[in-house]
């Protein structure tokens, strides 16, 4: 890269503007990619997971207490991440 001078300043500014535009596009894509899976990935409550796995709520409770299903707790509510449940059962269901 050359030493900045008054003569080449417009070219340097144009190059920086292009790089900032590319960075903004990349950031926007990353933000969109991060936001979408989180809303789809969470399964709220034992009933929701029972519907997803096509089993009873009692089975979910038993598996949860046995430590066979990973879960997260927020206050008194439980939620499950679809990817963790799929990984625990080593399958993909939708």
Contact residues for 19 (Cβ-Cβ < 8 A; gap 6+): none
Cβ pair 53, 45 in contact under 8 A: no
pLDDT of residue 83: 87
**Beta pairing, strands 72-74 & 77-81:** antiparallel
E-assigned strand segments in the chain: 42-44, 72-74, 77-81
Contact residues for 56 (Cβ-Cβ < 8 A; gap 6+): 50
Task: Map out the domains of the chain as residue ranges.
Answer: 41-89
Which residue ranges of the chain lie beneath pLDDT 70? 1-2, 33-40, 91-94
The predicted-structure confidence for 48-72, as pLDDT tens digits, reads as follows 999 999 999 999 999 999 999 999 9
């Amino acid at each position: 890269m050359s030493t900045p001078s008054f003569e080449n300043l417009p070219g340097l500014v144009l190059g920086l503007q292009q790089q900032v535009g590319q960075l903004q596009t990349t950031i926007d894509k990353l933000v969109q990619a991060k936001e979408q899976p989180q809303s789809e990935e969470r399964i709220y409550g034992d009933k929701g997971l029972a519907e997803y796995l096509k089993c009873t709520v009692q089975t979910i409770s038993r598996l949860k207490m046995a430590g066979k299903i990973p879960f997260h707790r927020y206050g008194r509510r439980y939620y499950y991440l679809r990817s963790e449940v799929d990984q625990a059962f080593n399958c993909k269901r939708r």
